[in-house]
Amino acid sequence: MSKNKIDIIDLINKIVWWIPIKKYRDAFRNYLVDKYTKPNIYTPDIPYGYSLDIDTHNEKVINLYKIRRIEHILIETINRCNGKCSFCPVSVGNEKREYKKMSSELFNKIIDDLVEIKYKGNVGIFFTNEPFLDDRITEFAKIAKSKLPEAFIHVLTNGSVLSLEKYKEAYKYLDLILINNYSKDNKLKDTNKAIYEFCLKNPEYKEKTIIQMREEEQILSSRAGNAPNRQDNLKTVPYLCHVPAVQFAIRPDGKVSLCCCDTYGEMTMGDLTKNSINEIWNSDTYKKLNKLMVKGRNKIKICKYCDFIDYVPDKLEDYTVEEKIKSYKLNNQSILENK
């Protein structure tokens, strides 16, 4: 890590020390680190907004696998995206998966599985796709929220097929709509511009809406070695990965992927048409995986060239929906803020 970056992080630590609640202090600190130290090109030895040395990071990951629980559920109801992002393995021109769409029966079964375990974590009705290509998304959000009132129901979308009317209807049942406006010219797409202007005129809608300006040609993580624009820069990083200790990613056919970076479904941890979420999470398949994950990325084929690294929590805590909305806003720069 460069001396300049260390100096910036030291200054940020001095700025945030006065915030009395640790989770808010940490969230604000991560936001500032991300904003003022993030490199333009992703480099595995400088994770986004992250300053832990390798040994400390790995120790935290090992400890997390000892207390693992599902914090993030991802449900992909249709495995297609209409984006053209150069960093995405399933963008237009890169997609190679067989087209699949989740049945309503399977979606309801997944939600019932979560009700059974009294789930209060994050439920993302998306995975590696554009969720609003499925015209049932709003109805699915309604079902999820009605059965899991304490869970955080949200979507990430590029907004390209999200009309203002669809947005307003989905807003009723979602706890957060995060719109990534991908472009090459830093301009809002027409659909996103309409939502942006509507939110400015109706500020109450800003409460659960984030609109981010993103670049189609960004250089990001290698996504398990499958990112199209990272093929000339793949290597195994020494940081352990904690994601499978807290995340459960479901494909449209009910099969469970290793994590959010397993875009092609190269690993299958279980099948929800045959078993429950709880049965799969506590299966021998996951027990074997957990042992491998703490030994290094080169122990699993799909992980060998994945350099995705994220903040590792010291412990797993329960947060309210309102707290999660605040956290998302602290960690994602919305053009709606301060407007």
Tell me the one-letter amino acid at 263: T
Asked if the model's pLDDT at residue 9 lies above 80, the reply is no
As a whole number of angstroms, the distance between CA 156 and CA 19 comes to: 29
Tell me the one-letter amino acid at 44: P
Asked if the model's pLDDT at residue 1 lies above 50, the reply is no
Residue burial 283-299, b: 16+ Cβ < 10 Å; e: rest: eeebeebeeebbebbee
What's the pLDDT band for 290 if we cut at 50, 70, 90? very high
Provide the token pair at 45.
Answer: 């030895």
Rounded to the nearest 5 degrees, what angle is found at the Cα of 224, between the Cα atoms of 233 and 140? 140
Asked if the model's pLDDT at residue 30 lies above 60, the reply is yes
Phi, psi angle pair for 316, to nearest 5°: -100, 120
Who contacts 194 (Cβ-Cβ below 8 Å, separation ≥6)?
Answer: 163, 164
DSSP letter at 153 equals E
Count of CA atoms in the C-beta half-sphere (13 A) of 27: 16
Q: What is the pLDDT of residue 50?
A: 57
What's the pLDDT band for 77 if we cut at 50, 70, 90? very high
Q: pTM for the complete prediction?
A: 0.86
Least confident of 129-143, 255-269, 305-319: 305-319
What's the pLDDT band for 190 if we cut at 50, 70, 90? very high
Least confident of 23-27, 35-39, 98-102, 169-173: 35-39
How far is Cα of residue 337 from the mean position of the Cα atoms in its chain? 21
- Choose between 290 and 331: higher pLDDT: 290
Strands 255-257 vs 268-271: parallel, antiparallel or unpaired? antiparallel
Read off the pLDDT of residues 82-91 as tens digits, 9 standing for 90 and up. 999 999 999 9
Q: What is the pLDDT of residue 96?
A: 94
* Average of per-residue pLDDT across 170-183: 97
Read off the pLDDT of residues 232-274 as tens digits, 9 standing for 90 and up. 989 999 999 999 999 999 999 999 999 999 999 999 999 999 9
* Average of per-residue pLDDT across 222-240: 93
Percent of the chain with pLDDT over 70: 90
Sequence-distant contacts of 16-25: CB under 8 A, at least 24 apart: 23/317, 23/319, 23/323, 23/327, 24/326, 24/330
Q: What is the pLDDT of residue 259?
A: 97
Residue-averaged pLDDT of the chain: 90
Could you give the C-alpha distances from 132 to 112, 286, 289, in angstroms and in order? Answer: 23, 31, 33
What's the pLDDT band for 19 if we cut at 50, 70, 90? confident
